[in-house]
Structure 1
């Protein structure tokens, strides 16, 4: 494992050598100097961490405390360089701060074992950290040796002010969707302190621009100072008011930073699904739909045709059902059943029919992610004998027999003389599904400026969701699904240790292997896509098997630590088995917030 990590670091050096140069960038030298200083600080802190871990003694509980404190210090130093390292040297960043779970590199199907600072935190907070000392020492050694050579990444390195500004843009998103939620330090609960450190670094990096006077620089300087002041005044993790922070200074800083970048003509958009023209992370258009459609833009005629086809029974083999049979608009495009009725109306299909709102904003479809696009999912469902049992030749013949559909397809796809085709049919339905993302819930109204949109319980619930309850460490803002910030380029799959029933005192093993059936790698055993929790209050029952009848049962399960927390044994569970210790009032507040994520009803 150690050899693999060193190879990974060498690969990062090669990336550094091939970087494209730019000229006349006043912030570059300043930023590189900040990185050098931060890298040296992180290197020194990683040495202290290694020494503290080496000193762990099974008969000295204080040695564990000392190691945890050294880890906190090391993480704070890392946050000084995270914006730079993660943007310019992503591979190296993963050596230091990879998520504490096995990750699969698709489509190559190579896996990367958990490592770095997050893995050290997990091991240090186990019941018997001393029993994991050998692993801890190995992790600390890798970090220390790699950190000692960090500045070598700068060999022949050149960049531009545009790239630096984009790295800051992404860092703000990382802080709002991950930093203040404790995404990469749930055991330590240092997310607020680490966010403060990152904000101070942003302030230092932007100094060359903020030293000049303009409306844009004054606004950025004001909100940066306000953010740091707020974070300094409210250091506690569990009681931090994230909603207040975001609305009073965090999101205004993001908006003013965008305005400054545009004023300086330093726009650069290289690789994320973010829409940089959106004001902030909670704007309705913050995530760019084109990132999920290979750049395609759906037309209004496609969407209209797709809506008609969604409710067209001619797409089923026996002319008795359509997509809306199992995805009913009045139930937010779910069906209220544990698992949907099959075509024979006697048996049921294997998995729960999830709501389709926001389904267009993900890179993997179906619970196991086996379809990479909505179009592929649609064609798969139509042809499935249990679901619609549609046959392409029969479907196309039926549609061509209809003058209405011949004209509608021709209008939607005028460039194609043979417009009535299965690919066009699937694209049109996908276009319609893309419209099922209204983002007009009470929470959205609150972020849009209506401070009366949320009740006090819902406000407390938001802060719990994005804090103590750790919900937002898997259901990431703003879509509250498994799209991982700040790039939103991947869809996460998690193993919750989900049972087959909702009796958590007597849980039964679920035989569904999940994504493992599609990609037979052990770490995908019982892993399923992380769905959005927007509109979840209206789409019971829950989970891939529909086993949980209400949100109360869902909360009980998570509060206990998932399947392993309720007494099951699943070696591949990715959800922490550590109980959340939420009380009844907190659970009620969380559920109240879930209701605040309910959009206005979507008309058929």
Structure 2
């Protein structure tokens, strides 16, 4: 049959549509698959050894030590394949490395049963692990039986180099925010060794790409090998210099890797929140604000109008209260009170007014997360009888009398427009102008030795960074930053730790009556806390020193109060007074400088 030019063109078009066009072959995926197959078998063997050690567990302390060592080895073997599992087989990864307590993921409300290594760890570190042998064997059986079938996941599996490289980028975020903080293994304290295993895995999988030996490829190789060496030479969890590791290896590696991927033309971003183009985690643009619920690309006029509305007492039912009454800019958008004054002028609202800085970077608003967006929060406050107690008709009339608000009156719902504009203003309160930000971005003077020590303690032994995640140091959970974390810290009614009394606020439980939501609260940011006392949802703690000592003693459960669902470990942190003081010094470096036009006082409106 004679083949015409038209038929050739048509065949080419069909091939294009079917995805059969010739492209560069994937060079990394075959290496990654071979690596995964080999190390999945090693991991499966390690889970078997863990199961055997648990089966031999008894009252002999030596048997407990052997079981803990077997768990450590199993975790190290898991970290060799974690980047691959976490990205391509998320459900399988959750079997091994999910939280040790019941957990609800916000905003998705997905129920998750505790399974895996973290559950085993918590049981092995109880006072008498042998009494938990049945539970331990059940957990070991789950991970062992699943690990035996890991390679079966690859049946019919397809992937490309773009996906592989994104899995590596996400693993770097895990190392920076979770592994070196001890998030996965707070009692074993294997986070540094696990970080080394993760970077070694990335080193192997990146090798085919680095064979081109571009300048950036060499940089990636150097930062990887340097980071691995630093981790290997300094394996002790408590004394590890995290700030040195971040500034000299991990963050430069993030930046170089992004450039290298771009040079390879293999960029891919399947996340809603992360902006890989920003380079590293601490770049203010790394988290995409528009990705959060209720956010939009607010026009400048909306932010300006929202600022005016924020300070306008005419929105309230008595023409005396504005948003700024409880969120005063000169006090970093707090009011300095234990709990804010109520509308009637003599009583108080139930909870402390937190700072509005960085509040847009959350999936739920209020301490109990009852509002799904800033807009919803604004409307709730406006019409709450204890807060602004607005009247809708009077509110609209007030808007009509001020020509500044003419744009609002053109909308179908002026109240919705008020909420959008105030939310737009609050969304702009993300200065990232602290001394720590300047330093970590290479733009400011070095931190003092005491402040560096405080950062390393915060992100390590003190375990602050396992709830207050970098870079915003709030409950926005890495590596995808796609959920807001609620914790049961077990707060006391006052900061008198010698005579502790349990707080009775049920937190999120009245909204969703599930046991693990009793006394659960959203994790706020630590940024600007040095300037925003008092602390906690009830404003019970007057100083940062008191807060740190509370956690140092293991929270309410550590103080022997009946908080059975406390998510914070009840074990003491054993921080010395000097170490606690160093943490306070670091927290002071997170206070934002006064940005021009942000701390606008009421008199200027």
Q: Under TM normalisation by the shorter chain, which class is it?
A: over 0.9
Partner in structure 2 of residue 290 of structure 1: 290
**In structure 2, how many angstroms separate the alpha carbons of the residues matched to 1:314 and 1:38?**
66
Q: 1:21 to 1:204 in 2, by over 3 A?
A: farther
**In structure 2, how many angstroms separate the alpha carbons of the residues matched to 1:207 and 1:514?**
49
Per-residue CA deviations over 1:39-78 (Å, capped at 9, x if unaligned) read: 11110000000000001111x2111100000000000000
Cα offset, 1:391, TM superposition: 2.1
Cα offset, 1:444, TM superposition: 0.4
Cα offset, 1:420, TM superposition: 6.3
CA contact (8 A) 1:383 1:389 kept: yes
Q: Does 1:527 align with 2:520?
A: yes
Per-residue CA deviations over 1:168-187 (Å, capped at 9, x if unaligned) read: 00000000001111110010
Per-residue CA deviations over 1:26-49 (Å, capped at 9, x if unaligned) read: 211111111111211110000000
Secondary structure of 2:419 counterpart: helix
Partner in structure 1 of residue 341 of structure 2: 341
Cα offset, 1:395, TM superposition: 1.1
CA contact (8 A) 2:293 2:372 kept: no
Secondary structure of 2:283 counterpart: coil
Q: Which runs of no fewer than 5 residues in structure 1 stay unpaired?
A: 1-19, 411-416
Which range is displaced more, 206-215 or 466-475? Answer: 206-215
Per-residue CA deviations over 1:360-409 (Å, capped at 9, x if unaligned) read: 111010000011100000100000001000122321221022112105x4
CA contact (8 A) 1:515 1:524 kept: yes
CA contact (8 A) 1:399 1:420 kept: no
Partner in structure 1 of residue 48 of structure 2: 47
Partner in structure 2 of residue 464 of structure 1: 457
Cα offset, 1:506, TM superposition: 1.2
Cα offset, 1:234, TM superposition: 1.1
Q: Which runs of no fewer than 5 residues in structure 2 stay unpaired?
A: 1-18, 601-605
**In structure 2, how many angstroms separate the alpha carbons of the residues matched to 1:164 and 1:589?**
40
Per-residue CA deviations over 1:514-558 (Å, capped at 9, x if unaligned) read: 000111111100000000000000110000000011101101100
**In structure 1, how many angstroms separate the alpha carbons of the residues matched to 2:266 and 2:218?**
17
Q: Does 1:603 align with 2:599?
A: yes
Q: 1:21 to 1:402 in 2, by over 3 A?
A: farther
**In structure 2, how many angstroms separate the alpha carbons of the residues matched to 1:309 and 1:344?**
21
CA contact (8 A) 2:294 2:374 kept: no
Partner in structure 2 of residue 475 of structure 1: 468
Q: 1:484 to 1:108 in 2, by over 3 A?
A: closer
Q: 1:206 to 1:124 in 2, by over 3 A?
A: same
Secondary structure of 1:290 counterpart: helix
Cα offset, 1:265, TM superposition: 1.3
**In structure 2, how many angstroms separate the alpha carbons of the residues matched to 1:474 and 1:125?**
20
Structure 1-normalised TM-score?
A: 0.93
Q: What is the aligned residue count?
A: 577
Q: Does 1:511 align with 2:504?
A: yes
Which range is displaced more, 110-119 or 139-148? Answer: 110-119
**In structure 2, how many angstroms separate the alpha carbons of the residues matched to 1:37 and 1:535?**
48
CA contact (8 A) 1:272 1:486 kept: no
- Kindly report which structure 2 residues correspond to 1:206-245, keeping only aligned pairs within 5 A, or say none: 206-245=206-245
Partner in structure 1 of residue 442 of structure 2: 449
Partner in structure 2 of residue 249 of structure 1: 249
Secondary structure of 2:28 counterpart: helix
Structure 2-normalised TM-score?
A: 0.93
CA contact (8 A) 2:79 2:194 kept: yes
CA contact (8 A) 2:502 2:556 kept: no
Partner in structure 2 of residue 63 of structure 1: 63
Q: Does 1:552 align with 2:548?
A: no
Match of 1:584 among 563, 577, 584: 577
CA contact (8 A) 1:21 1:158 kept: no
The root-mean-square deviation of aligned C-alpha atoms, in Å, is 1.6
**In structure 2, how many angstroms separate the alpha carbons of the residues matched to 1:292 and 1:105?**
15
Per-residue CA deviations over 1:397-456 (Å, capped at 9, x if unaligned) read: 21022112105x48xxxxxx4266111111111111111111111100111214634221
Per-residue CA deviations over 1:245-272 (Å, capped at 9, x if unaligned) read: 1101110000000001111111111124
**In structure 1, how many angstroms separate the alpha carbons of the residues matched to 2:295 and 2:216?**
31
Q: Which has the larger radius of gyration?
A: 2
**In structure 1, how many angstroms separate the alpha carbons of the residues matched to 2:377 and 2:411?**
23
Cα offset, 1:275, TM superposition: 1.4
Structure 1 residue ranges (4+ consecutive) displaced by more than 4 angstroms after TM superposition: 20-23, 105-110
Which range is displaced more, 444-453 or 306-315? Answer: 444-453
Which range is displaced more, 302-311 or 24-33? Answer: 24-33
**In structure 1, how many angstroms separate the alpha carbons of the residues matched to 2:79 and 2:583?**
30
Partner in structure 2 of residue 258 of structure 1: 258
- Kindly report which structure 2 residues correspond to 1:143-542, keeping only aligned pairs within 5 A, or say none: 143-293=143-293, 296-407=296-407, 409=408, 417-418=410-411, 421-450=414-443, 452-542=445-535
CA contact (8 A) 1:21 1:160 kept: no
Cα offset, 1:244, TM superposition: 0.6
